Structure 1
Amino acid sequence: MKKIILMFILLLCYTSVYSQNHVKIIKGSESVFSHTSDVDSITFHSFTCGDKVLYGGEVYPTVLIGSQCWFARNLNIGTRINGSQNAADNGIIEKYCNGDNENNCNTYGGLYQWNEAMQYVTTSGAKGICPTGWHIPTIAEITTLSNTAGGVSTGGNALKAIGQGVYQSPSQNGVGTNTSGFSALLGGYRQPYVAYYGNIGANAYFLSSSQINSTFTNYMNLQFNYSNITLSLIEKDYGFSVRCVKD
């Protein structure tokens, strides 16, 4: 009897661990189990904003902010390359990790050059490296997000996650409240030309899909010690964070 109980417990433990790392895929009358790392993305026909999205082996929470549905976490997909390299149009999604440290990608998400994030198309609102049904936000969509959060003068703290930012004075209060649910982390950036990483814990930079010209694109910046939101332009070769917004 003891052996039977022990075997049952071992089977139960194995099944529990197995089910956490595998998904059952049903197609017609056939069904197979696949490891989550082998699944590119899962789209649920009855998706409701607030559900989680499995993409590239990572789980992304989603949040409804105004009328927009956003990933509530920075994208972390692709193969890491060193800061001294430029991403290439080679069919492989390539990312930077601040400090060339994979742990920073696990925490803050990857940093992507604009062309890589867009997968080498220039259409504003392109899917890019986002999963099917999602896209790289346009500057108009980012502006809407900013306005919903409270405007460019004071909305930054509402976008920052709890624990991000500091209070220095009444005029320099960058403490994140995350009242929007956007949960922005101050993941810094990758600078081209000198293979320099900077501003981790100080700034969050988010790419838009709206280019200015062949060299520059729009982006959003949140600072650790201010509540404002900066919408500006930057060279496409910089490495910035990426959020996806629902089509």
Structure 2
Amino acid sequence: MVVIDRTEWHFGQTAVNVLTVGIAYNGIAFPVAWTALSHGGGSGADEHIEVLERILRVVKPDQIRALVADREPAGSDFLEVLKERKVPFVIRLKVGRPVGPASGEWSLPVRMFARTCGLQQSSLLGGRQVVGGAESVGVRIGLKRLEDGSFLVLASRGVDPDSMFELYRQRWDIETLFGALGVQRLRFGGDPFDRAGPDPKAARRSCPDLQLDLNQWSGSEKAGRTAARVCQRVSGEEPVSPADWTGSANCWSTGTGCRTN
């Protein structure tokens, strides 16, 4: 399983922005290729293609069960390259992305299809679909309404459609890597090797931004309550109370809010 993600923090006014691709194994991703971006903010297709080409020098496409990523590497150019290189993938889409049948006769924002799902229910759109901007890349679309009512929309190619949600859960392995490297604390200006200490608010401050699957943070109290639920619903792991993120004998504060043994 190949996982791609970006992490960003600041030293003073200087953005440190690193795009990383790794191999997920036993709950953590092992970094294989990465690039330090020369700017803050999101990464683009050229940067995604660069790290993809680097990992394909050591891992053949037929050795990859799936490349898994969040919404940022879902651009049309990157999807075209994945198709050309025959790399199977499961990538999350933004809910406003147009989706329609492979015939291209019509399309709708994918949220319109996802609204048919009840809470915690998932479904697959029938047949092969295309997404806006990448009309030559046929994909299967998976839809799920999460616990808070938001939508998880996945596009997959080259994998069993029934397995796409299970495969997507492994995207969290790269967040475990970032947590083990102390990245979450660097994002908040802290010492990457300091385990937040007895202050419960420090533990909450050290949680990740979770641009992964949740954008609606509204303060540290909500973040503390929500992170464990997010991890449980997406990864299926056992959530840990924010109060136990530090000082627990069997939980290292990775920032995911999940118990790691």
- TM over 0.5, yes or no? no
Q: Answer 1 or 2: which has greater helix percent.
A: 2
Larger RCO, structures 1/2 (Cα 8 Å, 6+ apart) = 1
TM-score scaled to structure 1, two decimals?
0.30
TM-score, with length taken from structure 2: 0.29
